[in-house]
C-alpha cells in the first residue's frame, strides 16, 4: 500500500511541497504520495479527520492553520510546544503527534547551506508573529551572543522576549529601538515583503560580514533583500532553502531517512527563476 501524505493550507494551490516531497521520495526509494489539500477556513479539523480516515499517514500544515494544528495534537515535540505552532503531523494508532520543523529548517539553511555559524553572533529577528515565534528557540539553541526581537508593534516583540526569558535574556522593541546597534545576522520574519513593503530600519544595523536572511521568497529579490544589500550586508538570502530544509526534516521524521536537500533546492531555484 502506498502511504499518503499531504499539506493542508488555505490557499494551498501555490504550494511547492508536493514537488519537493515527490523528489525526496524518488531519491530515497520511498513509496508514497503527497498532495496539496485545501482546507476550508472553518473546517481544518474536519479535513484532517477525513484524511486520517482515508488512511493518511502524515501531513504538513501551512498558513493559516499552524496554531489550530497545535491544538489538535494529542502529543507534541518539545520544539513544537515552544513554537506554539505545528507544521508537521504524524497520524499514529495512539492519535496525532505534532512537530515543528520550521526553526530547524532555518538553522540548517543558515549554518549548513550558507555556511554561516550562529554561535557567538548577534542576531536581530524582525517580526513578532507566528513565523518569528517558531524560530526563536532553535536560534537560541545555537548560542548566539545576543538576540534582539524588533517589531512594528513593540508590545508583541516584548511579549515574545518574555516568553523566552527562561532560556536567555532577549532584547525587544520597535525598529527605532535598534538604532545605534549592529548585528551579524538579521532575519526577516515579517510578512511585509508580501505587501512589497520595505521595513523602516535605521541605518548601520548590518555589521561588516553580516548575513541578511528573508524567510520569504519569490521570483526576484524581496524588498528586504534589496534594503540589506543597500545597507552593506555581505551575504543576502531568501527563504527557499528554509522551505526545502523544513520539508527534509518532516520527511526524515515520517520515513526515518534523511533526503539530500541540495539537488531539490537547486531544481526549485531554477523553476522559480524560469
Q: Which residues are catalytic?
A: 66
The C-alpha atoms of residue 189 and residue 201 are separated, in whole angstroms, by 14
A 10 A CB-CB count for 208 gives: 9
Q: Which of these segments, 41-49, 87-95, 176-184, 186-194, binds ligand ATR (CB under 6 A)?
A: 186-194
Collapse the DSSP code of 212 into the 3-class scheme (helix H, G, I; strand E, B; otherwise coil) and give the result: strand
Least gap, CB of 106 to ligand ATR (angstroms): 13
Scan for cell 512594528, then name that residue: 152
Report whether the peptide linkage leading into residue 145 is cis, meaning its omega lies within 30 degrees of zero.
no
The C-alpha atoms of residue 226 and residue 214 are separated, in whole angstroms, by 11
Residue 250 in the binding site for ligand ATR (CB under 6 A): no
Residue 138 in the binding site for ligand ATR (CB under 6 A): no
Site for ligand ATR (CB under 6 A): which residue of 6, 72, 131, 150? Answer: 131
Gyration radius (Cα) of the chain, Å: 18
Size of interface with ligand ATR, in residues (CB under 6 A): 16
CB 152 within 8 A of CB 129: no
Residue 156 in the binding site for ligand ATR (CB under 6 A): yes
For 103-130, give one letter per residue: b (16+ CB within 10 A) or e.
Answer: bbbbbbbbeebeebebeebbbbbbbbeb
Cβ neighbors of 89 (< 8 A, separation 6 or more) are 48, 58, 59, 60, 61, 69, 72, 73, 96, 97, 98, 99
Phi, psi of 175 (to 5 degrees): -65, -35
Site for ligand ATR (CB under 6 A): which residue of 190, 210, 246, 261? Answer: 190
Residue 127 in the binding site for ligand ATR (CB under 6 A): yes
Residue 103 in the binding site for ligand ATR (CB under 6 A): no
Residue 271 in the binding site for ligand ATR (CB under 6 A): no
CB 148 within 8 A of CB 172: yes
Residue 191 in the binding site for ligand ATR (CB under 6 A): yes
Least gap, CB of 198 to ligand ATR (angstroms): 9
Residue 273 in the binding site for ligand ATR (CB under 6 A): no
Residue 145 in the binding site for ligand ATR (CB under 6 A): no
Site for ligand ATR (CB under 6 A): which residue of 9, 58, 105, 130? Answer: 130
Site for ligand ATR (CB under 6 A): which residue of 13, 115, 195, 273? Answer: 195
Residue 192 in the binding site for ligand ATR (CB under 6 A): yes
Least gap, CB of 94 to ligand ATR (angstroms): 29
Residues near ligand ATR (CB under 6 A) are 127-132, 151-153, 156, 190-192, 195, 197, 199
Amino acid at each position: 500500500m502506498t502511504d499518503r501524505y499531504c499539506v493542508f493550507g488555505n490557499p494551498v494551490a501555490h504550494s511547492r511541497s508536493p514537488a519537493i516531497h515527490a523528489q525526496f521520495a524518488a531519491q530515497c526509494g520511498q513509496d508514497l504520495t503527497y498532495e496539496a489539500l485545501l482546507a476550508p477556513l472553518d473546517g481544518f479539523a474536519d479535513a484532517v479527520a477525513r484524511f486520517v480516515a482515508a488512511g493518511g499517514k502524515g501531513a504538513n500544515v501551512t498558513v493559516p492553520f499552524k496554531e489550530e494544528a497545535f491544538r489538535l495534537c494529542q502529543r507534541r515535540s518539545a520544539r513544537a510546544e515552544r513554537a506554539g505552532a505545528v507544521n508537521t503531523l504524524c497520524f499514529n494508532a495512539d492519535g496525532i503527534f505534532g512537530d515543528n520543523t520550521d526553526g530547524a529548517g532555518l538553522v540548517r539553511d543558515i549554518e549548513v547551506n550558507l555556511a554561516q555559524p550562529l554561535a557567538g553572533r548577534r542576531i536581530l529577528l524582525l517580526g513578532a508573529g507566528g513565523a518569528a515565534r517558531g524560530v526563536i528557540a532553535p536560534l537560541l539553541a545555537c548560542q548566539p551572543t545576543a538576540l534582539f526581537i524588533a517589531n512594528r508593534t513593540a508590545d508583541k516583540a516584548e511579549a515574545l522576549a518574555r516568553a523566552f526569558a527562561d532560556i536567555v535574556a532577549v532584547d525587544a522593541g520597535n525598529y527605532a529601538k535598534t538604532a545605534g546597534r549592529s548585528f551579524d545576522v538579521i532575519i526577516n520574519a515579517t510578512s511585509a515583503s508580501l505587501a512589497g513593503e520595505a521595513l523602516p530600519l535605521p541605518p548601520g544595523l548590518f555589521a561588516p560580514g553580516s548575513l541578511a536572511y528573508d524567510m520569504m521568497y519569490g521570483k526576484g529579490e524581496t524588498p528586504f533583500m534589496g534594503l540589506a544589500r543597500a545597507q552593506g550586508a555581505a551575504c543576502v538570502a531568501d527563504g527557499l532553502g528554509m522551505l526545502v530544509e523544513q520539508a527534509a526534516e518532516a520527511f526524515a521524521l515520517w520515513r526515518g531517512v534523511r533526503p539530500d536537500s541540495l539537488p531539490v533546492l537547486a531544481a526549485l531555484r531554477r523553476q522559480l527563476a524560469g
